[in-house]
Amino acid sequence: MNISIVIPVFNEETNLDALISRCLESCSKINKPFEIILIDDGSADSSRIKIEEAAKKYPGKIVGVFLNRNYGQHAAVMAGFETSSGDVVITLDADLQNPPEEIPKLVEKMEEGFDVVGTIRKDRQDSLFRKLSSYLTNKIVQKYTGIMMHDYGCMLRAYKRNIIEAMLSCKEHSFFIPILANSFAKTTSEINVNHEKRLSGDSKYSFFKLINLYFDLLTSMSTLPLRFLTFLGTIISLFGIGFGCFLFLMRIIKGSAWAVGGVFTIFALLFILVGLQFIGMGLLGEYIGRIYNDVRSRPRYFIEKVIKDKSS
């Protein structure tokens, strides 16, 4: 059983040395052939040079994949999958929030024959906002995929080769790897892992990048939100009709003076409705934007070069 470790790297120069040495040490404990694939997702710092050096220093063990610019974490991981050759592929973050020491545990679990093995982060070291949004996302994803995994956000995961091939055959642009994988997986399992603070540097997700990720996640999963929109629209319309009847009645009973007094209520309602309409249109836009991207079917990323030495 060959193991491939896939790690996306975006401006992580301060973490790379520790990452590489800890991964090498952890992998050599498994006693199986392995390769560590570091994907440079268009870093602007010295990450690129560091990966190049590491790939030359540890030929056959470290593979460098260089994207020509920044395409985002999940696209970078996909580029890593494309280059990988292992029977089991493990993804990991470069900031050492997922300790590489957990890799042997994942491999051990995969040997039991699961398609996907996820992880649950013990005392997650992230902000409250991130934890809360993860909690909500996990609940929604569990409902949609029907697979009761607890932590879809953690990228420390292992996939069998056939799942990787299935994911590579998907051509869509908006995807979230743990969910995509589970839509092909038959048997899944989870293990507990430690979670640490980011070793150094800041999260590579700005507020807008995070919003984009969440929309990717939502729209890649289902068109359910669109149906929800219709449902909400219907309810609001029914309410509107009811309210109209009520106003009409009150006007007959209490006279026109009362109805004039209600003008502001109508304004308030109008704002609510207009707001809802915009939310609905925005949501439609999110889908249409993604459809547009897929229709153009441009490459999801462009690999500039790969440093891979098979000599050892």
Point out which residues bind Mg ion (CB under 5 A).
93, 95, 97
**Which partner from the list Mg ion, ligand UDP, none does 190 bind, CB cut-off 5 to 8 Å by kind?**
none
Q: Give least dist CB 291 to ligand UDP, A.
A: 23
CA torsion angle 14 73 84 36 (round to 10) = 20
**Which partner from the list Mg ion, ligand UDP, none does 84 bind, CB cut-off 5 to 8 Å by kind?**
none
Contacts with 194 (C-beta within 8 Å, 6 or more apart), sequence order: 99, 102, 121, 122
| Contact between 12 and ligand UDP per CB under 6 A | yes
| Contact between 72 and ligand UDP per CB under 6 A | yes
CA angle at residue 88 from 71 to 161, to 5 degrees?
Answer: 75
Residues 23-62 that bind ligand UDP (CB under 6 A): 41
Q: Give least dist CB 100 to ligand UDP, A.
A: 12
Q: Give least dist CB 112 to ligand UDP, A.
A: 28
Among 27, 65, 94, 116, binds ligand UDP (CB under 6 A): 94
Q: Tell me the per-residue interface mask from 74 to 93 with ligand UDP, x by CB under 6 A, - otherwise.
A: --x----------------x
Q: How far is CA 196 from the centre of its chain?
A: 19
Q: How far is CA 128 from the centre of its chain?
A: 18
| Contact between 182 and ligand UDP per CB under 6 A | no
Q: Give least dist CB 202 to ligand UDP, A.
A: 7
Cα–Cα distance measured from residue 130 to residue 152, given in angstroms and rounded to the nearest whole number: 13
| Cβ-count burial 207-228 (b if 16+ within 10 Å, e if not) | eeeeeebebbbbbbbeeebeee
Structural tokens at position 295: 């229709």
